């Protein structure tokens, strides 16, 4: 039971990958507070999670929109009131936002995606960190993804917001290092969730032929198992990774099960971070 006795808030956990994280957390002994915008889905998720709990675990579900700061404040206050202490936050809530060339997308939809993907993480961190600093302990896991590490033409709001989430993660990790609060970002891989269905429904004329064909292959192949990214979240939320912070870790590509033995290397390097590549990194010399 890697998370026995620990209490977690998981956003966007009423379905999909967030729900898979919640299941893994409960299976590992944690009490969880989950949220989502659909009240019926939140209720069904809570019922399913409660069937996995033991006597000392609590599951609480709150229907709300985490892109609204007041909602986040109320959720955190409710969670602390019910559970007394919050040890872990997983910022999973996210959307693709509008798809298409930037001159064609709706500006309100674009900025709304930024609010959901980036501002919700900012709000959660802003209002949970005083509680974690008081406890001199805490784990925050922010969901990033492929949008942070490579361009995503025609899905610009998603790519922009996810890159920003990673830099926010790195920055807050430095701000909180002296309080023993570990803040990391997770790239869960290419998941077959509702976001993939959105891409397929949009079609190649909107998302681009190459991205659409890639999505078709992913749908057929099954994508990265949801369990893999959820297991990485459990690992980062556990005491085994204390001191590992400010990193972007890929569930399908990085050897994350061995990270604890390389703690010092990670602390003193820029491995698993977003950095600029200069010509010398690629064997070029442009000064002459």
Same domain, 42 and 161: yes
- Asked whether residue 284 is domain-assigned, the answer is no
Question: pTM, whole model, 2 decimals?
Answer: 0.94
With beta carbons less than 8 A apart as the criterion, state whether 167 and 152 touch: no
Number of structural domains (the chain) is 2
- Asked whether residue 1 is domain-assigned, the answer is no
Residue 235: CATH number of its domain: 3.40.50.720
pLDDT tens per residue across span 53-62: 988 999 999 9
Same domain, 86 and 170: yes
Same domain, 60 and 195: no
Same domain, 20 and 120: yes
Same domain, 163 and 178: yes
Same domain, 112 and 196: no
In terms of residue numbers, what domain contains 37? 7-189+226-271
Structure confidence at residue 37 (pLDDT): 94
- Asked whether residue 127 is domain-assigned, the answer is yes
Our answer to whether residue 158 is catalytic in this structure is yes
φ, ψ of residue 166 to 5 degrees: the values are -65, -45
Same domain, 81 and 204: no
Q: In which residue ranges of the chain is pLDDT below 70?
A: none
Strands 138-143 and 31-36: unpaired
Sign of CA dihedral 149, 210, 252, 23: positive
Structure confidence at residue 198 (pLDDT): 78
- Asked whether residue 84 is domain-assigned, the answer is yes
Choose, from 96, 158, 235, 272, the residue flagged as catalytic: 158
Same domain, 207 and 84: no
Structure confidence at residue 209 (pLDDT): 85
- Asked whether residue 282 is domain-assigned, the answer is no
């Amino acid at each position: 039971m890697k998370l026995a006795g620990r209490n977690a808030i998981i956003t966007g956990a009423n379905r999909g990958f967030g729900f898979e994280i919640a299941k893994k957390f409960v299976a590992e002994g944690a009490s969880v507070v989950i949220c989502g915008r659909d009240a019926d889905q939140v209720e069904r998720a809570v019922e399913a999670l409660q069937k996995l709990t033991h006597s000392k675990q609590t599951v609480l579900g709150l229907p709300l929109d985490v892109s609204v700061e007041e909602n986040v404040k109320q959720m955190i206050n409710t969670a602390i009131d019910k559970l007394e202490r919050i040890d872990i936050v997983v910022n999973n809530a996210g959307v693709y936002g509008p798809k298409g060339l930037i001159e064609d997308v709706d500006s309100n939809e674009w900025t709304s995606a930024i609010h959901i993907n980036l501002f919700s993480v900012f709000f959660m961190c802003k209002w949970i960190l005083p509680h974690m600093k008081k406890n001199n302990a805490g784990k925050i896991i922010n969901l990033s993804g492929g949008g942070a590490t490579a361009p995503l033409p025609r899905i610009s709001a998603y790519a922009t917001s996810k890159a920003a989430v990673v830099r926010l993660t790195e920055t807050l990790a430095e701000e909180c290092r002296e309080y023993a609060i570990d803040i990391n970002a997770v790239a869960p891989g290419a998941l077959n969730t509702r976001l993939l269905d959105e891409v397929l429904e949009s079609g190649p004329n909107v998302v681009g032929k190459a991205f659409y064909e890639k999505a078709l292959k992913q749908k057929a192949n099954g994508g990265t198992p949801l369990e893999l990214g959820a297991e990485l979240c459990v690992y980062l939320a556990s005491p085994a990774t204390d001191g590992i912070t400010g990193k972007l870790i890929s569930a399908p590509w990085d050897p994350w099960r061995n990270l604890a033995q390389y703690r010092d290397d990670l602390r003193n390097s820029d491995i698993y971070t977003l950095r600029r590549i200069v010509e010398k990194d690629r064997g070029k010399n442009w000064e002459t």
